[in-house]
Amino acid sequence: MPTGVAIRDVREQLFAAADRILLRDGPSGLTSRAVTTEAAVAKGVLHKHFADFDAFLAEFVLDRVHRMAPQAEALRGAAGSGTVAGNVADALIGVFGSVAVAVVALITFRDELRARLRQTWPAGVPVLTDAAVMLGDYLAAERDLGRVAPGADPQTLGAMLIGSAHLLFADRTGPSPDRAAVERTVRGVLDLVSG
């Protein structure tokens, strides 16, 4: 791209490029050069807007976490409708069908990124911990409606569901599990507290 040409929404352009690279090439393919090439911007653009590549990656990860807010709101709004297992399965497919699995691999892959994220995200893995809280809040609402066992610990269930789903979706090179497999896993976790 020629110098002197204004780029609109450069952060989003760079983040979208990072999404595509992560999904296509995995964390090892995500370099500053790959991002700027994919975004069709000059190499210096990334470093003009971010202190360094790990700063870019940290903001990218946190941006992807914040994008879950509408999904969390929709899930809370679904309390009392449909089936609990179906609602949770849809939420899990939404989380893991996005760039979430690739972001988790990226965080695991890059030590410096993990260190930076610890400055603002003290525990757990961003995206997964936020998704676990989202599920826990939803399950608490369903428990209050009597659709989840009264003695259930919604936040623990949320974490268990995220862990179980992550095992289903972890292989980014293979086919994603179908909805029936995800819902079967959800029912298995929920049955642990209803028995």
Regarding whether 166 and 120 lie in a shared domain, the answer is yes
Regarding whether 4 and 76 lie in a shared domain, the answer is no
Residue 60 lies in a domain: no
Residue 42 lies in a domain: yes
Number of domains in the chain: 2
105 SS3 class:
helix
For the chain, how far is it from start to end, CA to CA, in angstroms? 62
Number of Cα atoms under 13 Å in the Cβ half of residue 97: 11
CA 128 to chain centre: 6
Per-residue pLDDT of the chain (195 residues; tens, 9 = 90+): 444 445 568 999 999 999 999 888 988 999 999 999 999 999 899 989 999 999 999 999 888 888 888 888 999 999 999 999 999 999 999 888 777 777 888 888 888 888 888 877 666 677 788 889 999 999 999 999 999 999 999 999 999 999 999 888 877 677 888 999 999 999 999 988 875
Residue 59 lies in a domain: no
Q: Which domain holds residue 156?
A: 67-194
Residue 144 lies in a domain: yes
Regarding whether 110 and 152 lie in a shared domain, the answer is yes
pLDDT computed for residue 26 by the predictor: 86
Regarding whether 187 and 113 lie in a shared domain, the answer is yes
Q: Domain with 37 in it: what CATH number?
A: 1.10.10.60
Position 10, amino acid:
V
Residue 83 lies in a domain: yes
Residue 62 lies in a domain: no
pLDDT computed for residue 1 by the predictor: 42
Q: Domain with 124 in it: what CATH number?
A: 1.10.357
Q: Which residue carries 């289903």 as its tokens?
A: 168
Residue 139 lies in a domain: yes
Regarding whether 71 and 133 lie in a shared domain, the answer is yes
Regarding whether 140 and 76 lie in a shared domain, the answer is yes
Regarding whether 73 and 45 lie in a shared domain, the answer is no
- Structural contact between residues 46 and 36, judged by C-beta atoms closer than 8 angstroms: yes
Regarding whether 184 and 88 lie in a shared domain, the answer is yes
CA distance 79 to 36: 42
Residue 57 lies in a domain: no
Please tell me the pTM assigned to this model.
0.80
